[in-house]
């Protein structure tokens, strides 16, 4: 067994549920990177500066999940335009000189997952929810949607936030109350960004000929909404598709090896979910 000379890991709180170690380790195995190791660490905002300062030269990069995606920004030397556009970093790559560069692979990961499903361009789209993932969804839609985007939200404060993100990303966003969320299903593309169980009641309103649903959840899977969508013949993109595509980009940035093994990573993720 080779000695470990390169390290990477996912940080967040909570972190025990993360599939990132499964996906990245599968990539290393497929690429023959026997001297690479990928772990997970429970780190919150208060502990992040100290964690970064304690890393040695063997560290190649980090994946970040909540609540660190915004907290890390002041600790970096530079961030990509993509990350700056939504003020969220999910990837940190360490340069040979120790410089810390932040990026956001969630946005291009969403675009790649949609393209894999055959979605290159849509005339309109709907977003269910208005949290952090919704801003990434909006940024992804700025690359594939040519017309209006409607965000269905639970409060006026969230509506204001989504409109502000729309202005920042230069996309047309209209907001509507959650009570009207069933109307989202008239759009050719619907992105559900809400927590587990939130859209269960809405699943009763899926039309007979739905378009494409991108549900960012992957556990439990399928969600009631995704199951009913599939039952009516609609195309469904899952949260695992997103997770794999964004991880592919992380592996390529951290290792310098491209293309990363998409299918091997997806299969590893599917096996891990099936095993519980």
Secondary structure (3-state) at 172:
coil
Which residues are catalytically annotated?
A: 69
pLDDT at 86: 94
Phi, psi (rounded to 5 degrees) for 131: -85, -160
Cα separation of 193 and 128, whole Å? 6
Place of tokens 């361009």: 121
Q: Quick check: helix, strand or coil at residue 211?
A: coil
Q: How far is CA 16 from CA 13, 42, 70, 110, 119, in A?
A: 8, 8, 20, 24, 33
Residue 239 token pair: 């949260």
Q: How far apart are CA 207 and CA 101, in angstroms?
A: 44
Count CB atoms within 10 A of the CB of residue 83: 25
In order along the chain (276 residues), what is the average pLDDT of each group of 10 residues? 90 96 98 98 98 97 96 98 96 96 98 97 97 93 96 95 93 95 98 96 96 95 97 97 98 98 98 93
Cβ–Cβ < 8 Å for 145, 122: yes
């Amino acid at each position: 067994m080779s000695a470990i000379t390169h390290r990477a890991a996912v940080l967040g709180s909570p972190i025990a549920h993360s599939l990132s170690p499964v996906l990245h380790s599968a990539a290393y195995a497929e690429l023959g990177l026997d001297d690479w190791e990928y772990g997970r660490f429970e780190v919150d905002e208060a502990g992040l500066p100290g964690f970064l300062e304690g890393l040695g030269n063997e560290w190649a990069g980090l994946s970040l999940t909540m609540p660190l995606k915004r907290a890390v920004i002041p600790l970096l030397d530079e961030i990509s335009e993509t990350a700056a556009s939504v003020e969220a970093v999910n990837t940190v790559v360490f340069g040979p000189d120790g410089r810390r560069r932040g990026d956001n692979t969630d946005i291009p990961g969403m675009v790649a997952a949609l393209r894999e499903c055959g979605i290159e361009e849509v005339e309109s789209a709907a977003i269910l929810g208005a949290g952090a993932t919704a801003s990434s969804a909006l940024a992804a839609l700025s690359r594939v949607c040519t017309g209006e985007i409607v965000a269905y939200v639970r409060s006026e404060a969230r509506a204001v936030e989504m409109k502000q993100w729309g202005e920042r990303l230069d996309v047309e966003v209209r907001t509507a109350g959650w009570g009207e969320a069933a109307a989202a299903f008239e759009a050719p593309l619907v992105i559900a960004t809400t927590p587990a169980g939130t859209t269960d009641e809405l699943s009763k309103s899926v039309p007979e000929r739905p378009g494409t649903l991108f549900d960012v959840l992957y556990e439990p899977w399928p969600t009631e909404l995704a199951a009913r969508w599939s039952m009516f013949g609609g195309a469904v993109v899952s949260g695992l598709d997103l997770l794999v595509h964004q991880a592919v980009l992380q592996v390529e940035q951290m290792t310098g090896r491209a293309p990363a093994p998409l299918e091997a990573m997806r299969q590893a993720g599917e096996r891990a979910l099936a095993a519980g």
